[in-house]
Structure 1
Amino acid sequence: MKKLLFALFLITSLVSPAQNRLDNLEIITHEVTQNVYMLEGSGGNILIQVGESEVVMIDSQYAALSDKIKKEIARITDKPLTYLINTHYHGDHTGGNENFNTDKVTLIAHANVLNRLTENGKNENFLPEKVIEEEFELSLVDENDLIIHVHHAHTDGDSFIYLTKNNVVHMGDVFFNGRYPFIDLDSGGSISGYITAQKRVLNTINEETKIVPGHGALASYNDLATYIPMLVDLKAQIQKEISDGKNRKEVAKNNSITKKYDALGFGDGFVSSERIRTTIYDSLILETKDK
């Protein structure tokens, strides 16, 4: 009995802080344009697009935050939600899907998002009804949203969404503004695909485009344009380490590889300096095996 009570206490002590954190968390709204808003809470940034007669939502964060997110959307507009788009399948971007996916809402995502959510046992209300393969144009009354799939970047099911009239793009986790990216190698991501995806976005938008990243502050064209060379540099340095016969542990300990970017705070986020070095190392080794 004492062991059971201790186990229950341990579980409660581990769960309660996380739950309390979400209970006390405030959803912060940033106006991107007159009709577009970025909602910052816990997990991936949400984009809300208010059209002439409807609302488009991109990503849904965690289920525990859905009521707070709904209240914040209601504060912004009383127009109905008609489309929910997922940038990829991770739970901090899709956790609230079933709380927003009513009979009046169409959930859109790449085919691999459907596959991975299904594999994870998610119910029907959690899953996209409209599945895209490469590109899809969502035609609204007063806007055209381009949903474009990028291959093997953060995962194997990433899409970025470009709001052409408002000139805003939501990049999902293909961009972590001001911090090193999390590249999910176990879900089909890769450093080469990540760089290619960012270049694809940069070639799609223009210098006036406002960028909603998956994580971090609202960004600009220049933020992305200067981020890409960093990744290219890290990839080249680590590729040289591999060519010189260095192993994973040696690359992990080599602080000089990321020193310049560590000084700018890139290693202060979810992905540490050591982790980005090992992630890129692992990705390059996998790419070599796949050739």
Structure 2
Amino acid sequence: MRTLLLAALFFAFTNVVSAQERKVEFTTIQLSDTVYMLRGAGGNVGISTGEDGLYIIDDQVKPVTEQLLQAVRKVSDQPIRFVINTHYHADHVGGNETIGGAGTVIIAHDNIRKRMTTRQVNKFRNDTTPPYAKDALPVLTFNDRISLHLNGESATAYYVANGHTDGDSIIHFPESNVIHMGDMYFNGLYPYVDLDAGGSMQGMVEAADLALSMADDATRIIPGHGPLAMTEDLKSYRDFLVRAGANVQELIDQGMNLQQVIAARPTSEWDEELGKTWITPAQFVTFIYNSHQGIQEYTPPPEVEAEED
């Protein structure tokens, strides 16, 4: 019951709440002369603005699109030329239909378009998403990477296979020394690994490794959710992913099933800090267990006494 309640609360904006029913407070952080981070009701948004125009990375949830656009206009009143989607989840592509319908070019990995044009069943959220409207779909897709050369700098979107989903990208602004990681990085909470959409723990680690290979000590990291981070924060996150995975694998190697692994509390070191916002410790352990066992779907974790501690 707790699983379904938390999932429903997190995704409520995508299906129920209208923009008029909730005024969203947007926070804008300038990261360089051209790059900004915008926090609001869904995934964190990246903004690039300058002499060549305006483009954004992700566009939050559908009901707050007009509020999002108002927040973007406070940075620049130029029309949005491009949107880059980091993945297909509704809290990152929710504004696509309105923005794409106004003539903005939507860019995304091939797998994002594939998922947005087909019915998606998600066992973690216990819901089904129908195909998106035509205006919401990416019209320019890529397989490995794509670069934009605007506003006096480059921005390259790099595909990372089977991380948060099977269609995630991270976007690097080398001149501004900024990396937008989408939901390959949850800062301050347990990450959601969408096994139903091809996600895996190994891919999450590989995404962190890729970002760190492009970063220095001064790099600013925009996570998919949570506050702005620095390279040291991402290093700690990467180490946490590896250690949590190793803890679960050690128990698997001892022959434990999922219920026994959860009861052993292999993530107890981080539960207090990361496990109280959305993803519970039992859910996160389930992501790891299923990923390591090659189970490409979410299975609700069994009730165990360890969760009541």
Q: TM-score, normalised by structure 2?
A: 0.84
Identity of aligned residues (%): 35
The counterpart of 1:275, out of the listed 283, 286, 308, is 283
SS at the partner of 1:136? strand
Contact 1:97–1:126 under 8 Å retained in 2: yes
Letter in 2 for 1:158: D
Question: How big is the shift at 1:105?
Answer: 1.8
SS of alignment partner, residue 176 of structure 1: coil
Q: 1:286 aligns with which of 294, 297, 305?
A: 294
2:193 is aligned to 183
Q: Does 1:262 align with 2:271?
A: yes
User: Could you report, residue by residue, the CA deviation over 1:239-278 in whole angstroms, capped at 9, with x for unpaired residues?
Assistant: 11111011101112222x1121124x11122211111111
Conserved? CA contact 2:48–2:151, under 8 Å: no
Q: Secondary structure at the residue paired with 1:223?
A: helix
Matches within 5 A, 1:232-243: 232-243=242-253
Q: What's the TM-score once normalised by structure 1's chain length?
A: 0.89
Instruction: Specify which structure has the bigger relative contact order, considering alpha-carbon pairs within 8 angstroms and separated by 6 or more residues.
Output: 2
* Higher Rg: 1
> What's the counterpart of residue 149 of structure 2?
139
Alignment of 1:55-70 (within 5 A): 55-70=54-69
SS in 2 for 1:214: coil
Q: Deviations over 1:125-173 (max 9, x none)?
A: 1111110100111121411111100010000000001112111111000
AA matched with 2:166: D
Question: Per-residue deviation at 1:49?
Answer: 1.1
Alignment-derived partner of residue 226 in structure 1: 236
Code of the residue aligned with 2:37 in structure 1: it is: M
Note the alpha carbon deviations across 1:13-50, whole angstroms, 9 max, x for none. Answer: x9998447962222222222232221111110111111
Alignment of 1:243-262 (within 5 A): 243-255=253-265, 257-262=266-271
1:115 match: secondary structure: helix
TM-aligned CA deviation for residue 109 of structure 1: 0.3
CA contact (8 A) 2:17 2:63 kept: no
Decide whether the 8 Å contact of 2:101 with 2:136 is kept in 1: no
Q: Distance in 2 between matches of 1:238 and 1:102?
A: 46
Aligned to 1:41: 40
Q: Distance in 2 between matches of 1:36 and 1:144?
A: 11
- Cα distance 1:82–1:179, how it changes in 2: closer, same or farther (>3 A)? same
Cross-structure match for 1:121: 131
Q: Would you say the 8 A contact 1:22–1:65 is kept in 2?
A: no
Change (3 A) 1:17 1:108: closer
**Gap change, CA 1:74 and 1:103, over 3 Å in 2:** closer
| Aligned-pair CA distance for 1:287 | 6.7
Deviations 1:174-225 (A, max 9, x none): 0001111100000000011111111111112222110110000000001001
CA distance in 1, matches of 2:63, 2:113: 22
- Contact kept, 8 Å, 2:18 with 2:64, in 1: the verdict is no
- What is the match of residue 54 of structure 1? 53
Question: Kindly tell me: are residues 116 and 17 of structure 1, through their superposed partners in 2, closer, same or farther at Cα, counting changes over 3 Å?
Answer: closer
Gaps in structure 2 of 5+ consecutive residues: 1-11, 119-129, 297-309
| Greater percentage in helix | 1
Alignment of 1:147-158 (within 5 A): 147-158=157-168
Q: Report SS of the residue matched to 2:182.
A: strand
Amino acid at match of 1:285: Q
Q: Which moved more, 1:166-175 or 1:246-255?
A: 246-255
Q: Residue 59 of structure 1 aligns to which amino acid in structure 2?
A: D
Structure 1 partner of 2:109: 110
CA distance in 1, matches of 2:164, 2:233: 18
Aligned residues: CA RMSD: 2.0
Corresponding residue for 1:6? none
Specify the alignment match of 1:5 in structure 2: none
Q: Is this contact kept in 1: 2:37–2:45, CA < 8 A?
A: yes
> Relative to 1, partners in 2 of residues 1:219 and 1:196: Cα closer, same or farther, differing over 3 Å?
same
